[in-house]
Amino acid sequence: MAAAAASTAVVGPMAAWQLSDSTPSSDNGLLGEGQLREGLLRRWPTAVCEPASPQDKRGFAELMRDYEVSGKQLGDGAYSVVMRGRCRKTGEPVAIKMVPKALDDDAADYKRVQADDEVRREVEMLKRVSMHSCISKFEAYYESKTHHYIVSELVTGGELFDHLAEIGSYSEKQAAALLQELGGAVALMHAQGLCHADIKPENILLTGEGKLKLVDFGLATKAGVKSEVRPGTWAYWPPEAWDVGWGGSLPADMWAVGAILYVVLAGCHPFDPAGNATAEEMVGSSLTPTLTTDPNPGPSPNLSPSPGPGPDH
């Protein structure tokens, strides 16, 4: 699973890509501009790699000027790839998410515009909320004719989901500490009238010291905005999210926080203890819940990755 969240750009699913397998890095482990372009082209063969025009190349050239990009891939989502990098000025390690603007020559133009707007909206959200210590810190943003590049702090402790799958459920003391950190991050967003809209264990990373970092603001939006596309992951939707026209809300974020609290204490999803419910079964369970009452003290065999985005995506 991706170490940082995948973009919500509407460009269609793509096969897994390993840059290090196809594009060897230099002796010092860093990628040159040509190597990175070659890797991006291998990852998205229908994308036109960086144009020759100096004006079109500006975003890519500025990225390479300010940051070194290593051959180490941190994550690979359907719509983005995340690479490890380092700030040339400070030497601090960073994560660099690379999102293509258009991959398919047959894609409708409105989808390309929507994808670009979503990435830019994510950047604006990060600028507004990343001052919180429990939200992944935004570092920089670059845009070229063919790609978006979002630079953020490097979080090395892995996903909360993987941590739960490895060690099992939390004690009440541990869960309370996690809830305090997550609640603080969500409270900052809500104080600005913003909702995350996709809070789930996979979007919570842990630092090497075990501190929580909320990530993936690609679906974040102003509270109460109606939309034909219901944002988020249906396993963490509240019942009202199944209504047409629902577009995210502050209470929906709190519903997801409550579901995560249950997951970390019980080791399974409150409305899918077996880890195999369909969307229809999940909404039925959330409307007429029958919750399991025995917390799982060890690693849970029923803890499954969250399903993909809602059926509207």
Question: What are the residue numbers of the active site?
Answer: 198
- Beta bridge partners of residue 67, listed in sequence order: 87
Residue owning tokens 């989502």? 77
Quote the CA–CA distance of 151 and 156 in Å, as a whole number: 15
What tokens appear for 283 in the block? 């909404």
Count the neighbouring beta carbons within 10 Å of the beta carbon of residue 179: 18
DSSP state letters, 212-226: EEE---TT-EETT--
Cα(191)–Cα(289) distance, rounded to whole angstroms? 30
Instruction: Count CB neighbours of 145 within 10 A.
Output: 16
CA neighbor of 236 nearest in space, from 269, 208, 214, 212: 269
Residues 6 or more apart whose CB falls under 8 angstroms from that of 78 comprise: 6, 12, 13, 14
Measuring CA to CA, how many Å separate 182 from each of 101, 177, 178, 186?
A: 32, 9, 6, 6
Read out DSSP for 141-181?
A: EEE-SSEEEEEEE---S-BHHHHHHHH-PPPHHHHHHHHHH
Helix (H) or strand (E) holding 19: helix 19-22
Cα–Cα separations (whole angstroms), residue 248 to 12, 55, 198, 236, 312: 23, 38, 9, 12, 13
